[in-house]
């Protein structure tokens, strides 16, 4: 029996995540009081026809009943099941924008102040966030992207290796909230300042070769790979199933992308379970194009 509990900040996409599990044949239920979760799981375990994969969403919509989540988790861990806790997070300004657009009321904004409700919710959810198997920052995700991320974690759920997620980003747009390890590539020369590389990205062979023409880039890649391989078993021992490595540069288009690609391929060759996402590459490429490409050439 595989049980996945989805929780997190209101407006971060819990309904989308639960629907994504339902689409891959999870038995799903939303807004369930935590105290009922173990009983629901036992009921499914006793049924010969119930699905072996269960998805449950619970959060502070259930009020003070949410405080029983910790006892429920303890009880679930004493049962013969595989338990995951997915915590969905999102940047405050994005949450405010989402609530403003939908004109929905935040469940904890008694006075009508959305930010006040968000701050209160973060404080009350901090403990469960620290217990989560996966923390996912949905700030830059569309519904389709979030569904894809959720489903990719479970379509190959029989693979018990640590999932190493490599995310490249630009510091100008902020550090990914779900990062476990963050590395800064701004110690390397920036291809942006070389005109022939400016419009290209770290996916381009010439840009990649330029980045790795510096000894310090190769030194960093070698030692980061060695560290990740060495530490992976210890993360699994702590029941952590995913390690998110964020690699950043100024815009998230050149150096971080080249390094992220190199780390991804290095780990893949070593038979690691690894995923790669370039968070800001399209946004930054569009920004650079608008700044430097003459209007008559855009067409």
| Digit-coded pLDDT (tens) for 155-201 | 765 667 888 999 999 999 999 988 999 999 999 999 999 999 999 99
Based on the fold, state whether residues 132 and 176 are members of the same structural domain.
Answer: no
Average pLDDT, the chain: 90
pLDDT value of position 97: 87
Query: Could you tell me what percent of the chain has a pLDDT over 90?
Result: 69
Based on the fold, state whether residues 22 and 147 are members of the same structural domain.
Answer: yes
Number of domains in the chain: 2
pLDDT band at 103 (very low <50, low <70, confident <90, very high): low
Does the predicted model carry a pTM greater than 0.75?
no
Residue whose C-alpha is closest to residue 180's, from 247, 233, 256: 247
Q: Which of 29-43, 90-104, 175-189, 261-275 has the lowest mean pLDDT?
A: 90-104
- The predicted model gives 132-144 an average pLDDT of 91
Give pLDDT tens digits for 230-274.
999 998 888 788 899 999 999 999 999 999 999 999 999 988 889
Based on the fold, state whether residues 21 and 133 are members of the same structural domain.
Answer: yes
Based on the fold, state whether residues 211 and 268 are members of the same structural domain.
Answer: yes
Based on the fold, state whether residues 95 and 214 are members of the same structural domain.
Answer: no
SS (H, E, C) the chain: CEEEEEEECCCCCHHHHHHHHHHCCCEEEECCCHHHHHHHHHHHHHCCCCCCEEEEECCHHHHHHHHHHHHHHHHHHCCCCEEEEEEEECCHHHHHHHHHHHCCCCCCCCCCCHHHHHHHHHHHHHHHHHHCCEEEECCCCCHHHHHHHHHHHHCCCCCCCCEEEEEEEEHHHCCCCCCCEEEECCCCCCHHHCHHHHCCCCCCHHHHHHHCCCHHHHHHHHHHHHHHHHHHHHHHHCCCCEEEEEEEECCCCCHHHHHHHHHHHHHHHCCCEEEEEECCHHHHHHHHHHHHCCHHHHC
Enclosing domain of residue 45? 2-154
pLDDT value of position 175: 94
pLDDT band at 299 (very low <50, low <70, confident <90, very high): very low
Based on the fold, state whether residues 9 and 150 are members of the same structural domain.
Answer: yes
Q: Which of 23-32, 39-48, 158-167, 213-222 has the lowest mean pLDDT?
A: 158-167
Based on the fold, state whether residues 149 and 232 are members of the same structural domain.
Answer: no
pLDDT band at 298 (very low <50, low <70, confident <90, very high): very low
Question: Residue 79's domain is classified under what CATH number?
Answer: 3.40.50.300
Based on the fold, state whether residues 107 and 129 are members of the same structural domain.
Answer: yes
pLDDT value of position 121: 93
Based on the fold, state whether residues 52 and 168 are members of the same structural domain.
Answer: no
Based on the fold, state whether residues 281 and 191 are members of the same structural domain.
Answer: yes
Output the CA–CA distances (angstroms, integers) from residue 278 to 75, 118, 177, in the order listed. Answer: 39, 28, 15
């Amino acid at each position: 029996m595989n049980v996945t509990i989805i929780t997190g900040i209101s407006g971060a996409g819990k309904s989308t995540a639960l629907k994504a599990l339902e689409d891959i044949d999870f038995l799903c239920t939303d807004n369930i009081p935590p105290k009922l979760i173990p009983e629901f799981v036992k009921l499914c375990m006793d049924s010969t026809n119930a699905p072996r994969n269960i998805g449950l969403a619970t959060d502070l919509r259930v009020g003070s009943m949410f405080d029983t989540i910790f006892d429920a988790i303890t009880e679930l861990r004493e049962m013969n099941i595989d338990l995951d806790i997915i915590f969905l997070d999102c940047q405050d300004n994005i949450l405010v924008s989402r609530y403003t657009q939908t004109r929905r009321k935040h469940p904890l904004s008694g006075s009508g102040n959305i930010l006040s409700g968000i701050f209160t919710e973060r404080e009350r959810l901090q403990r469960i966030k620290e217990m989560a198997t996966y923390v996912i920052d949905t700030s830059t995700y569309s519904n389709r992207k979030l569904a894809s991320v959720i489903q990719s974690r479970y379509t190959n759920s029989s693979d018990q290796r640590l999932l190493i997620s490599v995310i490249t980003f630009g510091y100008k747009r902020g550090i990914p909230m779900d990062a476990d390890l963050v590395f800064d590539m701004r110690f390397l020369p920036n291809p942006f300042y070389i005109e022939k590389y400016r419009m290209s990205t770290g996916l381009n062979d010439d840009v990649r070769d330029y980045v790795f023409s510096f000894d310090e880039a190769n030194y960093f890649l070698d030692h980061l790979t060695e560290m990740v391989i060495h530490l992976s078993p210890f993360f699994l021992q702590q029941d952590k199933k995913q390690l998110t490595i964020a690699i950043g540069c100024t815009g998230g288009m050149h150096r971080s992308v080249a390094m992220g690609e190199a780390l991804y391929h290095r780990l893949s060759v070593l038979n690691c379970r690894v995923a790669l996402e370039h968070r800001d590459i399209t946004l930054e490429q569009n920004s650079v194009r608008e700044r430097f490409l003459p209007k008559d050439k855009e067409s």
